[in-house]
């Protein structure tokens, strides 16, 4: 009886050790049954194609929106999810923060992926209520980058950099959005998602995996 129990434990241990390795090899060498994510530009979504040169794609140049003398985040060779926080805390802002944190925790060990929170504020020192909300859920950490910008600069990032029209907060006309944007390591826009929707952020969670697979395949072929 004792031998049988030890045998079962040994077999179980082998499964625990071997199965993840097999799954990893399938991811690396197996067929990708997902469609590649589109690339978004001024003309809308375009199917990814190896026949187009890298220079043909629209790219989000974050450094263009950083004030002179400001520090440009080190995002080269990184995929990242961009989101926007502004103004007083609302139910939508809290849901957005919770969903971003959930995604960041899911992919905590994926070093290539970052989360960038654009903070709309004219202050370089005072923490905004929405920023404080994000910190209460996420804390500090290398997974996150918080970029503080004036409202006008935030609007330019949305319209000119990430190519979507922001909403306006009621009565102020200031830019705001619950949109999350997925950017690949070549600074191309790969998807837009409603950050307040659990269904949409679940889709984003899946598509981060698809993008990661694409990036691994590209690394293997370079």
Q: Are residues 119 and 213 in the same domain?
A: yes
Q: Are 178 and 194 in contact (CB under 8 A)?
A: yes
Q: Are residues 112 and 180 in the same domain?
A: yes
Give Cα separations from 60 to 28, 140, 180, 200 (angstroms): 28, 25, 14, 22
Q: Are residues 9 and 85 in the same domain?
A: no
pLDDT value at position 209?
96
pLDDT value at position 184?
96
pLDDT value at position 171?
46
Q: Are residues 98 and 16 in the same domain?
A: no
Tell me which residues of the chain have a pLDDT lower than 70.
1-34, 87-88, 123-125, 140, 168-175, 222
Q: Are residues 128 and 173 in the same domain?
A: yes
**How far is it, in rounded angstroms, from Cα 166 to Cα 177?**
5
pLDDT value at position 25?
46
Domain count, the chain: 2
Question: Which single residue is written with the structure tokens 């290539």?
Answer: 112
In DSSP terms, 144 is beta-bridged to: 115
Q: Are residues 9 and 117 in the same domain?
A: no
CA-closest candidate to residue 92, choices 170, 202, 197: 197
Range of 107's domain? Answer: 39-221
Q: What is the pTM of this model?
A: 0.79
Q: Are residues 166 and 190 in the same domain?
A: yes
Contacts of 38 (CB under 8 A, 6+ apart): 45, 46, 47, 48, 190, 191
pLDDT value at position 27?
46
Per residue in 112-139, pLDDT (tens digit) is 999 999 988 776 667 778 788 888 887 7
Per residue in 16-34, pLDDT (tens digit) is 555 555 554 444 443 444 6
The SS3 call for residue 80 is strand
Q: Are residues 137 and 191 in the same domain?
A: yes
**How far is it, in rounded angstroms, from Cα 207 to Cα 190?**
9
Q: What CATH number does the domain containing 141 carry?
A: 3.40.30.10
Q: Are residues 106 and 74 in the same domain?
A: yes
pLDDT value at position 102?
93
Q: Are 204 and 197 in contact (CB under 8 A)?
A: no
Q: Are residues 14 and 57 in the same domain?
A: no
Angle of helix 198-221 versus helix 91-106 axis, rounded to 10: 30
Q: Edge-to-edge strands of the sheet including 79-86?
A: 44-46, 39-41, 189-194, 179-183, 79-86, 113-120, 144-149
Q: Are residues 48 and 134 in the same domain?
A: yes
pLDDT value at position 13?
54
pLDDT value at position 28?
43
Q: Are residues 82 and 45 in the same domain?
A: yes
């Amino acid at each position: 009886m004792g031998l049988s129990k030890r045998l079962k434990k040994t077999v179980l241990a082998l499964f625990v050790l071997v199965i993840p390795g097999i799954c990893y090899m399938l991811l690396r060498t197996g067929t990708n049954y997902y469609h590649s994510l589109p690339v978004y530009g001024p003309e809308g979504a375009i199917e990814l194609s190896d026949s187009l040169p890298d220079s043909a794609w629209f790219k989000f140049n974050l450094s263009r929106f950083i004030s002179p003398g400001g520090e440009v985040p080190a995002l080269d060779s990184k995929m990242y999810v961009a989101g926007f926080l502004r103004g007083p805390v609302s139910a939508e802002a809290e849901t957005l923060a919770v969903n971003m944190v959930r995604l960041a925790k899911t992919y905590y060990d994926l070093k290539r992926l970052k989360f960038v929170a654009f903070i709309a504020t004219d202050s370089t020192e005072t923490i905004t209520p929405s920023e404080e909300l994000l910190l209460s859920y996420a804390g500090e950490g290398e997974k996150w980058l918080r970029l503080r910008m004036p409202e006008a600069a935030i609007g330019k990032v949305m319209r000119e950099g990430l190519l979507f029209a922001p909403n306006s907060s009621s009565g102020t006309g200031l830019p705001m959005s619950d949109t999350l944007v997925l950017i690949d390591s070549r600074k191309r826009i790969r998807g837009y998602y409603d950050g307040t929707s659990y269904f949409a952020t679940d889709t984003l969670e899946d598509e981060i995996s698809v993008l990661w697979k694409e990036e691994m395949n590209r690394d293997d072929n370079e």
